[in-house]
């Protein structure tokens, strides 16, 4: 996919899926803006991209802070001259049912996964409208499409991401803006390894295999596979695609 001359913003790009997406877009020639709440992690992604011959800039950004997001987006437009692609990847997980999810936990997830996406959309869309178009890709989840046990707050938040995708797609289609989302199943990232070490110490491999087999295809996805789909959906080859939710789930939503 050729992104030469385009500016791509990736939130939560300091690790995992976000890092893989940032790297993939840089390989395609984009000037990648690496946003993360952890500046050190963002700089590590930039270093990786630079070592691969790409072009990237690190920005510290807490997506829960609207003023901070607006300041970063303004800085990107002033520096790069435009904002062609926004990938809303930043997000957090949460485990629990309705009754085991505290109001504080619900608010924590809402601030990052819902308001965070809203803040980035609100800050980037006007620049895209002014320049005559752009592409937005949100990271939702299969939790926005099917019921998953003990994911009450997380499912709530990703359901909101899905419907925000539809809303932006229809509201800004006449402004040349496309908006889609990817709905992954379990993806093997450092977060998964950390979760297993924290909650299943001594049984990591056993639980990992169980989580892997949840996908009918028999394994978890790879961050690079998410990045490949992201690259296609944000490329000119996907110019006829908007308002769509793409499962990337190893068969979960259709074969279970």
Q: How many CB atoms lie within 10 A of CB 214?
A: 16
Residue 142 confidence (pLDDT): 98
| Percent with pLDDT over 90 in the chain | 98
The yes/no answer on whether domain 7-185+222-247 falls in CATH 3.40.50.620 is no
Mean pLDDT along residues 4-27: 98
Mean pLDDT along residues 39-49: 98
Residue 256 binned pLDDT confidence (cut-offs 50, 70, 90): confident
Q: How far apart are CA 58 and CA 222, in angstroms?
A: 24
What positions carry a catalytic annotation? 154
Residue of 28 and 256 predicted with greater confidence: 28
pLDDT per position as a tens digit, 54-106: 999 999 999 999 999 999 999 999 999 999 999 999 999 999 999 999 999 99
Largest CA distance in the chain: 55
Q: Where in the chain is the domain with CATH 3.40.50.720?
A: 7-185+222-247
Q: Which residues contact 114 (CB under 8 A, 6 or more apart)?
A: 157, 160, 161
DSSP string, 48-70: HHHHTT-EEEEEE--TT-HHHHH
Residue 252 confidence (pLDDT): 97
Q: What is the mean pLDDT of the chain?
A: 97
């Amino acid at each position: 996919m050729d992104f030469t001359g385009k500016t791509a913003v990736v939130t939560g790009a300091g690790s995992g899926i976000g890092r893989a997406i940032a790297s993939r877009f840089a390989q395609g020639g984009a000037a990648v803006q690496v946003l993360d709440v952890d500046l050190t992690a963002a700089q590590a992604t930039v270093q990786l991209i630079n070592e691969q011959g790409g072009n990237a800039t690190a920005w510290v950004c807490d997506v829960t802070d609207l003023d901070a997001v607006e300041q970063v987006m303004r800085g990107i437009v002033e520096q790069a001259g435009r904002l062609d692609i926004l990938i809303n990847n930043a997000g957090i997980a949460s485990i629990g049912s309705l009754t085991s999810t505290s109001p504080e936990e619900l608010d924590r997830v809402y601030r990052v996964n819902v308001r965070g996406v809203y803040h980035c959309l609100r800050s980037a869309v006007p620049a895209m409208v002014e320049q005559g178009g752009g592409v937005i890709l949100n990271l939702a989840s299969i939790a926005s499409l099917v019921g998953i046990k003990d994911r009450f707050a997380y499912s709530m938040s990703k359901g909101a991401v899905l419907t925000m995708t539809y809303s932006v797609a229809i509201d800004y289609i006449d402004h040349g803006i496309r908006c889609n989302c990817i709905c992954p199943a379990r993806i093997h990232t450092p977060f998964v390894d950390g979760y297993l070490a924290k909650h299943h110490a001594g049984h990591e491999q056993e639980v990992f295999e169980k989580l892997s087999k949840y996908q009918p295809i028999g394994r978890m996805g790879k961050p690079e596979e998410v990045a490949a789909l992201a690259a296609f959906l944000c490329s000119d080859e996907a110019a006829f695609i908007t308002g769509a939710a793409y499962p990337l789930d190893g068969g979960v939503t259709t074969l279970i």
